[in-house]
């Protein structure tokens, strides 16, 4: 079973767990500690190890070493009292995911554990940090700490990770958190993956049991029963799209790379996000907004590479220079905002497109995105459905235009005009559905060109729009077909 920092034999890993020699009336100190990570099956492991006849585990999280005041004021007598149910088992342990929470200062926590339990074996279970953060958010929603309609990417972007009291991001900085534990405990630290528990819970349990010195001949009857405590609050509104996941993973990318070297595991499956299956459209609220965000990020990256002297360059929209194209794209965002939420969207800061085209685009996008976040008031269910449909259609058209004109920008400035495959695929789905809801002339729009078999996603997206390098039909924000 992979996951241990090193595969050296037990005899070469340092001291083995010491057996308890106290009388049955004296609560012991633990011989092992499950330090986390939060929302990564620590409760599952504690419960199953605790069923072993030679193992006793504290029935709940102890939270001793992560609070300096408890260590200082309560001392080891209080800590021992948390194991008062002990009845002579030679192996004793506890599980407190708070020991791997960034704001608790892992350096200090690791030293406190080493000072009190120098011979203890430690176990960490690590979960894909994006999934862990999502599960943590649902946990906080369930306990009323976050609004029910919270969206993980919005929460993460709103607060710098180091200032987030809930540690949605920082609790997933595993390599940084584990560094002091590895320093103090060396091979007394076992690192497992949540994936291992899902793939083969029995093998994962046996690896942990072997590490703490328990006989692997005993396997709990319910070893395959995993507890997912947040299922009752998971809804489509909380679903992570591939674009949510891609944006969120950037907060962990560097740490995951270091973690791979630290534990000797290939974590590419954390980076590669699978394409959802069985989906023909992307018209749910969360999917559309996530794709809209991803399209804006792509366009923003292209614009960041544009020089001021390129703004008068021609574009595939033959009547427009690059500056004029950007002006059109900026105005589309503001029109969307005012049409969707008239009088509700502030535009106090609006950079001039002529002098600050890139800043103008970013400000316009933020305004349109803010409009979508304002709930639409409806007097009845029919009006609410119509409002949701309007939101979806406008968002879909802005997605299509961002992708199309991002392609224009790339072509006009000599950049790579390849739209990321998944984004282009989503663009095709969105365009097909959105264009089906407007009157159009086959000679001016939706005239899909024939393409050779195996054409890439960008070519298929451009072909669907009936576009060639010289001309592209498009749709105005009011739904009236027009040429760009």
**pLDDT for the residue numbered 23:** 43
Place of tokens 């984004």: 423
Rounded distance, CA 334 to CA 351, Å?
12
Rounded distance, CA 154 to CA 177, Å?
25
Rounded distance, CA 317 to CA 473, Å?
9
Q: What is the pLDDT along the chain (484 residues), one digit of tens a residue?
A: 333 333 333 333 344 344 444 444 677 899 999 998 999 999 999 999 999 999 999 999 999 999 888 888 899 989 999 998 899 999 999 999 999 999 999 999 999 999 999 999 999 999 999 999 999 999 999 989 999 888 898 899 888 898 999 999 999 999 999 999 999 999 999 999 999 898 889 999 999 999 999 999 999 987 877 655 555 555 556 778 777 888 899 899 999 999 999 999 989 888 865 444 333 343 466 677 788 888 888 998 898 888 888 888 888 876 788 888 888 888 888 887 877 777 665 655 677 767 777 788 888 888 888 877 776 665 666 666 677 777 777 788 888 888 988 888 898 899 998 998 888 888 887 877 766 655 444 343 444 555 556 678 888 788 777 654 333 334 333 433 333 3
Q: How far is CA 19 from CA 50, 51, 215, 280, 403, in A?
A: 16, 18, 14, 59, 64
pLDDT of 157-191, one tens digit each? 888 898 999 999 999 999 999 999 999 999 999 99
Looking at the DSSP assignment, which residues form a beta bridge with residue 481? Answer: 475
Rounded distance, CA 49 to CA 71, Å?
26
**Fold that domain 10-268 belongs to in CATH:** Rossmann fold (3.40.50)
Model's pTM, two decimal places?
0.57
Q: What is the dihedral of CA 183, 189, 195, 200, to 10 degrees?
A: 160
**pLDDT for the residue numbered 56:** 96
Instruction: Please say whether the beta carbons of 42 and 95 come within 8 A.
Output: yes
**Fold that domain 285-483 belongs to in CATH:** 1.20.120
Domains of the chain, residue spans: 10-268, 285-483
**pLDDT for the residue numbered 238:** 76
**Which of 268, 292, 251 is CA-nearest to residue 423?**
292
Rounded (5°) CA angle 283-345-435: 30
Place of tokens 């007598």: 77
For 251-281, b/e burial (b = at least 16 CB within 10 A) is bbeebbeebeebbebebeebeebeeeeeeee
């Amino acid at each position: 079973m992979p996951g241990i920092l090193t595969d050296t034999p037990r005899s070469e890993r340092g001291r083995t767990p010491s057996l308890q020699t106290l009388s049955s009336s004296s609560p012991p100190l633990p011989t092992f500690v499950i330090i986390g990570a939060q929302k990564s099956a620590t409760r599952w492991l504690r419960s199953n190890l605790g069923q072993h006849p030679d193992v006793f585990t504290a029935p709940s999280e102890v939270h001793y070493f992560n609070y300096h005041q408890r260590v200082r004021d309560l001392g080891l007598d209080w800590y021992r009292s948390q194991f008062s149910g002990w009845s002579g088992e030679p192996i004793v342990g506890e599980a407190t995911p708070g020991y791997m929470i960034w704001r608790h200062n892992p350096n200090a926590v690791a030293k406190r554990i080493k000072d009190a339990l120098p011979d203890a074996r430690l176990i960490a279970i690590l979960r894909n940090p994006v999934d862990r953060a999502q599960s943590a958010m649902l946990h906080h929603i369930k306990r009323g700490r976050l609004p029910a309609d919270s969206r993980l990417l919005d929460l993460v972007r709103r607060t710098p990770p180091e200032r987030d009291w809930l540690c949605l991001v920082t609790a997933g900085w595993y390599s940084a958190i584990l560094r002091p534990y590895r320093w103090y405990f060396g091979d007394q630290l076992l690192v497992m993956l949540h994936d291992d528990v899902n793939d083969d819970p029995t093998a994962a349990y046996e690896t942990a049991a072997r590490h703490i010195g328990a006989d692997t001949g005993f396997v709990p009857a319910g070893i395959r029963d995993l507890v997912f405590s947040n299922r009752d609050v998971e809804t489509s509104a909380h679903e992570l799209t591939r674009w949510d996941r891609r944006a969120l993973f950037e907060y962990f990318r560097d740490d995951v790379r270091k973690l791979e070297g630290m534990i000797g595991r290939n974590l590419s499956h954390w980076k590669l996000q699978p394409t959802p299956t069985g989906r023909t459209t992307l018209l749910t609220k969360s999917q559309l907004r996530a794709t809209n965000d991803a399209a804006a990020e792509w366009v923003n990256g292209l614009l960041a590479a544009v020089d001021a002297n390129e703004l008068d360059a021609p574009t595939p929209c033959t009547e427009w220079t690059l500056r004029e194209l950007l002006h059109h794209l900026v105005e589309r965002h503001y029109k969307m905002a005012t049409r969707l939420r008239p009088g509700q969207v502030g535009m106090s800061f609006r950079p001039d497109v002529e002098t600050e085209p890139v800043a103008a685009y970013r400000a316009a996008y933020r305004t349109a995105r803010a409009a979508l976040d304002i709930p639409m008031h409806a007097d009845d269910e029919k009006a609410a459905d119509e409002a949701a449909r309007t939101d979806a259609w406008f968002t879909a058209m802005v997605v299509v235009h961002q992708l199309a004109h991002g392609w224009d920008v790339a072509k006009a400035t000599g950049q790579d005009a390849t739209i990321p495959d998944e984004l282009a695929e989503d663009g095709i789905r969105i365009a097909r559905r959105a264009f089906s809801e407007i009157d159009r002339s086959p000679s001016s729009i939706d005239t899909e060109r024939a393409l050779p078999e195996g054409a890439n996603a960008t070519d298929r997206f451009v072909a669907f729009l009936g576009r060639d390098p010289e001309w592209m039909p498009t749709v105005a924000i009011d739904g009236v077909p027009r040429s760009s």
